[in-house]
């Protein structure tokens, strides 16, 4: 599996998710939760502990690389995101196609495709430019360090806000799987699938870098410091 890394930008720092982030993540998730109707976000310290442990289990199995999202100006943990569905195309062709583990040493393996997901931010971090720069850092790492051919993203088809955010990244809508799965509200939902290909990345990167440079100026929060 890919080695955990720190990804640092102007407004945000993505740290490898660890148990030490549990209380800070719980505090971030405890702010106004009205924007989480379509997003699985833990509520309370115990739920956050399970959330982190499940993410670390997926990482140990080579299925994910999770991060704590940290505001760079004051070190406050404001959410989480991750690479998931890490897919490796080396070795013999398998059929039917499905995400597969690495061939050889998993500690040095580099994926050929991945998905970015499980992203959420505290209410006060939303709309501050943190998500945009975090996605730039992750996409840059995926395409330019790993050399992946494709990065996927998905959202509940009803989640207009998340879908608009994904589209602003330069991702292309591949389609909506109708009646795809159950949503958080128990209703059967469609899922909108998006992707950025390696050949599309240079144009998407230029647009994202421009948005980051012209986005909100980082401001030191007046909240009590919750150290990462």
Residue 226, in any domain of the structure? no
Q: How many domains does the chain have?
A: 1
Domain at 62, CATH number: 3.40.630.30
Residue 224, in any domain of the structure? no
What tokens does 195 get? 């992707």
Q: What was the pLDDT predicted at 218?
A: 53
| pTM of the predicted model as reported, rounded to 2 decimal places | 0.90
- Tens of pLDDT along the chain (228 residues) come to 678 999 999 999 999 999 999 999 999 999 999 999 999 999 999 999 999 999 999 998 888 999 999 999 999 999 999 999 999 887 778 787 777 777 767 667 889 999 999 999 999 999 999 999 999 999 999 999 999 999 999 999 999 999 999 999 999 999 999 999 999 889 999 999 999 999 999 999 999 999 999 877 554 443 333 332
Report which of 85, 69, 66, 56 is spatially closest to residue 25, judged by C-alpha positions: 69
Residue 219, in any domain of the structure? no
Q: Which structural domain range is residue 46 located in? A: 7-213
Burial of 21 (0-12, 13-18, 19+ CB in 10 A): buried
Distance of CA 44 to the CA centre of its chain: 21
């Amino acid at each position: 599996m890919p080695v955990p890394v720190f990804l640092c930008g102007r407004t945000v720092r993505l740290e490898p998710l660890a148990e030490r982030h549990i209380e800070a993540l719980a505090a971030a998730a405890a702010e106004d939760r009205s924007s989480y109707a379509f997003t699985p976000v833990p509520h309370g310290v115990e739920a956050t502990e399970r959330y982190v442990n499940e993410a670390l289990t997926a990482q140990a199995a080579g299925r994910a690389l999770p991060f704590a999202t940290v505001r760079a100006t004051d070190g406050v943990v404001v959410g989480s995101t991750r690479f998931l569905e890490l897919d490796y195309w080396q070795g013999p062709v398998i059929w039917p196609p499905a995400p597969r583990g690495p061939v050889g040493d998993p500690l040095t393996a580099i994926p050929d495709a991945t998905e970015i997901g499980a992203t959420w931010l505290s209410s006060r971090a939303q709309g501050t430019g943190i998500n945009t720069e975090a996605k730039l850092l992750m996409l840059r790492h995926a395409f330019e360090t790993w050399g992946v051919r494709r990065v996927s993203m998905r959202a509940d088809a009803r989640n207009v806000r998340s879908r608009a955010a994904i589209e602003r990244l330069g991702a292309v809508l591949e389609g909506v799987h109708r009646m795809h799965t159950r949503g958080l509200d128990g209703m059967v939902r469609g899922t909108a699938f998006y992707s950025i290909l390696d050949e599309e990345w240079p144009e998407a990167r230029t647009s994202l870098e421009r948005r980051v440079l012209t986005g909100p100026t980082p401001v030191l929060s007046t909240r009590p410091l919750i150290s990462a």
